[in-house]
Amino acid sequence: MSTVFFSVSPPSPSFPPQFHFKSFKHLSPLKTTLKRPLLSTTTHSSLHVDPLESDPPLPPSVRTFWKWLAEEGVVSSTCPVPRRLWINPDTIAASEIGYRCADLKPWVAVYLFLIREKMRGNLPWRFYIDILPERTDSTLYWSEEELAEIKGTLLLRMTREMKEHVESQYHKVKEEIISRHEQLFPSSITLDGFLWAFIMLRSRALSHLRGQLVMLPLVDLINHSASITREDNAEEINGPAGLFSWDLLFCLKSTMPVKEGEQVVIQYGLKKSNADLAFYYGFVEPNTNRDSYTLTFNISELDPFHREKLDIAAANDLGETAYFDIFMDRPLPPAILPYLRLVALQEADAFLLEPVYRKSIWKTLELPVSHVNEELVCKMVIDACESALSGYRTTVEQDEKLIQEGNLGYKLEIAVTVRVGEKRVLQQIEGIVKEKEAQLDKLEYYHERRLKELGLVGEEDETYCQPKKDSIPTLVVCSPV
């Protein structure tokens, strides 16, 4: 196992749960210009490359970047990336604009810092920023004509919502910071520039070490490979950070054997869908394991039991709105049926919402409650799938034909792969639930289970009911429930 060491900063504020960052960028600007990848290993597990051997020659900006790393002692087998070369919230706090960014969310402060440094072109960040691409193939950069190819997909919704988010953050920063401190900013910072900084951070930042946010020059050039099936490629260790210094180091381990001169690659995330990969990095994998769809359900504010249901959902780490990521050829998420049964509880089953049942209700909801309740659950899922399928511009068969014929442009290939994957998952979900719907009369529901627990069911499913208090104390045989 080959190991490459980089230093790691002290903990800094982490991202909120709804933000999921990829560790590294997929396609570096170097990949298509190098005879050998920039980040590779020798038999001594050190960084190794001779830019002069590249054919065609490296661009001037890359040569300068490599020279800078060499002068800083990064390109060696013993010295890690020094803390002064990282870009993280601590970097921004210590910068000229740090005190003005104190109230910003950490990642927004990094956006502002990146675009400011790009515009200023000053040392030391110029060498690093100069090799960053001006654009990527992320759907955030797609034209309206290109976006039309992903009509109906969650990818389109994700793209539009994130654009709105970035725009709102930009206007907030412009009003509260840029316009009030024009002396700190050499020229006008535009929305396009702010979007560029957002994409650079979202596609390159490492965030899974101690929940911290950091951009590491050189490290963020490591590419993704579908052949890597493990994500445990990074850890923190204590080690030498210089001749007479000791620090926390970033240790990157290849999870598969790497020969001398081969490129070091990693896995960006086994749980990421093709929509995620297209959104953040601008690529997809021709792998059905990446096909997914997120079903969204909510507890209506008009529900007469809204407060009770909301409390039960919250106690089980769910909210008024719940999102369920469903992947191709995988079981439904364990929480989806209990949540939907909770949403579908009506008057006849509302007794389960009473305080006396609260401690055990989620376990109760893991199994069918009643025929009416289970029927509503099936209807909700089927309706959601059919509604989503009606929003696409093509059918699964049409997309499969396009893929078979080939000759798709790069972005159209991304669009077709994502949309056909979503539709396949929706059809799979619909098929599972329709099969369940056909078996509703054969399911065992709450009252039947409860009677069995009390020993009130005979060998042939006869239910023994207790007589009324004023009747003769004899055993009464009732028909099955």
Q: Point out the least confidently predicted range of 133-142, 332-341, 452-461.
A: 452-461
Give the C-alpha separation, 200 to 181, whole Å.
24
Single out the residue of 289, 294, 290 nearest to residue 277, CA to CA.
290
Residue 435: count other Cβ atoms within 10 Å of its Cβ: 10
The average confidence (pLDDT) of the chain is: 81
Q: Tell me: the pLDDT tens digits for 173-212?
A: 999 999 888 888 867 889 999 999 999 998 888 765 556 6
Strands 463-465 and 476-478: antiparallel
Q: Tell me: the pLDDT tens digits for 307-330?
A: 999 999 999 999 999 999 999 999
Q: Point out the least confidently predicted range of 7-21, 71-85, 120-134.
A: 7-21
Residue type at 239 in one-letter notation: G
The position carrying tokens 């790009």 is 118
Helix 191-204, helix 106-120: angle, nearest 10: 120
The helix/strand/coil state of 189 is: coil
Question: Is the domain covering 288-454 a CATH 3.40.50.80 domain?
Answer: no
pLDDT at 76 over 80: no
Long-range contacts of 92-97 (CB under 8 A, 24+ apart): 96/184, 97/177, 97/181, 97/184
Mean pLDDT of 146-158: 96
Give the C-alpha separation, 16 to 454, whole Å.
47
The helix/strand/coil state of 327 is: strand
Would the CA dihedral through 239, 242, 246, 251 be positive or negative? Answer: negative
What pLDDT shows up at residue 3? 46
Q: What are phi and psi of 235, to 5 degrees?
A: -155, 170
* Stated pTM of the model: 0.80
402 — pLDDT class (breaks 50, 70, 90): very high
pLDDT at 168 over 90: yes
Domain ranges of the chain: 62-277, 288-454
420 — pLDDT class (breaks 50, 70, 90): very high
Q: Tell me: the pLDDT tens digits for 23-58?
A: 333 333 333 333 334 444 433 344 455 555 666 777
Query: Which one is catalytic: 128, 170, 268, 445?
Result: 268
Residue 268 falls in the annotated catalytic set: yes
Mean pLDDT of 231-254: 62
May I ask the CATH class of domain 62-277? alpha beta
Give the C-alpha separation, 445 to 373, whole Å.
10
What pLDDT shows up at residue 57? 79
